[in-house]
Structure 1
Amino acid sequence: MGRFRKRMYDKYQEEGNSPDERYDMAYKRVKRIKGFYIHALVYVLVNAFILISIFNRSMIGDVVFWEWQTWNTVFFWGIGLVAHGLSVFGRDIFFGSNWEEKKVQEFMDKDKGNKWE
């Protein structure tokens, strides 16, 4: 059992979480992730429909397609989608749960050859 996994196991034991409680927490997390993916799919489909319909109504290279009104739904809904993603994935997007451990080990391995004498 890895150090991280053992720490998480010990954490659950200290908190008194039973396997059923852990299953419920994992199930809720999976539902939140699924909700985000559905949100992202709807975002892509609806905005593609809007942009294609505006593009078809305007002539190629027409100024209407490049106006702010055409892109404001994409922009503001995109901000909402990013906020939704951050609420679901949190800090794990950029720094995973064991990122610090990997980075420390990487620096230790890198500096192994350099002896400070």
Structure 2
Amino acid sequence: MLVYVLVNSMLVVIWAFTGAALFWPIFPILGWGVGLAANAWDVYRPDPVTEERIQQEMGRLRP
């Protein structure tokens, strides 16, 4: 998350110094933000461990 903020802040500073009319940093900010949100959803969503999932994993690991 820190890298996301630092890199995108740097892009906004570059945009400000170039004087471009179009706020082009929005494209990497949104693109990377969607990926970051999807990763956070995958990591932090509630996904309870059920007996069925345990059995599936045990079956997958058995030779």
TM-score, normalization by structure 1: 0.36
Percentage identity across aligned positions?
A: 29
Q: Flag the structure with more relative contact order, 1 or 2, with Cα contacts below 8 A and sequence separation at least 6.
A: 1
SS in 2 for 1:91: coil
In structure 2, the gaps of 5 or more residues are 49-63
Once residues 76 and 91 of structure 1 are traced to their aligned partners in structure 2, the CA distance between those partners, rounded to angstroms, is 25
Shift >3 Å, 4+ stretches:
none
1:65-104 to structure 2, matched below 5 A, reads 66=23, 69-91=24-46
TM-score, normalization by structure 2: 0.63
Match of 1:43 in 2: 4
2:8·2:25 contact (CA, 8 Å) conserved in 1?
A: no
More helix by share: 1
In structure 1, the gaps of 5 or more residues are 1-39, 98-117
Structure exhibiting the larger radius of gyration computed from Cα positions:
1
Q: Per-residue deviation at 1:71? A: 1.1
Give the total of aligned pairs.
48
Q: Per-residue deviation at 1:70? A: 2.8
Once residues 32 and 39 of structure 2 are traced to their aligned partners in structure 1, the CA distance between those partners, rounded to angstroms, is 10
